[in-house]
Amino acid sequence: MKFKSDFPIVLASQSPRRQELLGMLGVDFLVVPSTKDEPDPFQFQTALGYVLACAAQKAQEVAQTHKEAVVIGSDTIVVLDGEILLKPKSKEQAKDYLQKLSGRTHEVITAVTVVQGDSELTFHEAVQVTFYELPEAWIDLYIGTDDPYDKAGAYGIQTVSGLFVKEIQGDYNAVVGLPIAGLTQKLAAAGFIFLEGSGVRC
């Protein structure tokens, strides 16, 4: 099962996880990461408002130079007690994040914006993730690796730090960075993709 498109598809992301997830569709796509800095979270009243703005900014920026294309931008954040945890900038910050997340339930929100010409669609998935209590030695060993530093909340559910996760409620792929099943539904409903060989434009 493979999808096709009448449009060039552009993924506005440097994230290898997002590239891999979009690859599930089998549709050809180009990767053009956005280069603009993400806005300051403190400008926003809610975590959801922030993550939606980040996804929209990425897609809109890349759409300016890819006018014919369907451009997909996405952003993922971790939220604990209203605090937004982005990618940690230091070992200390990674340790602080993981100590806060230990034994608790947090929310991962991934927002997606799709821009094609003048039309734009946006949606998000919110996922509840519960961590086991993390022994300090685990945190110390983990933050000594490269793994936490390109991931919101300082962990990756798809890597060794998936061992920290006791339970998840919601879309696993949204935690990894792209809710690909939901995105497929939206792209098909908008007529941006269709199933190859089915003769049906769903």
Ligand X SMILES: Cc1cn([C@H]2C[C@H](O)[C@@H](COP(=O)(O)OP(=O)(O)OP(=O)(O)O)O2)c(=O)[nH]c1=O
> Rule CB under 6 A: which residues touch ligand X?
13-15, 17-18, 33, 58, 74-76, 78, 87, 108, 150-153, 155-158, 175-177
Beta-bridge partner residues of 77: 109
- In 3D space, the residue among 2, 1, 21, 4 whose CA is nearest the CA of residue 194 turns out to be 4
Coil vs helix vs strand at 120: strand
- In 3D space, the residue among 112, 109, 34 whose CA is nearest the CA of residue 76 turns out to be 109
| Min dist. Cβ of residue 76 to ligand X (A) | 4
Tokens describing residue 65: 């130079």
Instruction: Decide if 171 is catalytic.
Output: no
Closer of 39 and 135 to ligand X (Cβ): 39
Closer of 48 and 195 to ligand X (Cβ): 48
Closer of 74 and 113 to ligand X (Cβ): 74
| Min dist. Cβ of residue 74 to ligand X (A) | 6
| Min dist. Cβ of residue 157 to ligand X (A) | 4
Helices (H) and strands (E) in the chain, counts: 6, 9
Among residues 28, 37, 75, 150, which one is catalytic? 75
> Would you mind telling me the total number of residues written for the chain in this entry?
202
| Min dist. Cβ of residue 58 to ligand X (A) | 6
The whole-angstrom separation of Cα 82 and Cα 158 is: 24
Q: Which residues are catalytic?
A: 75
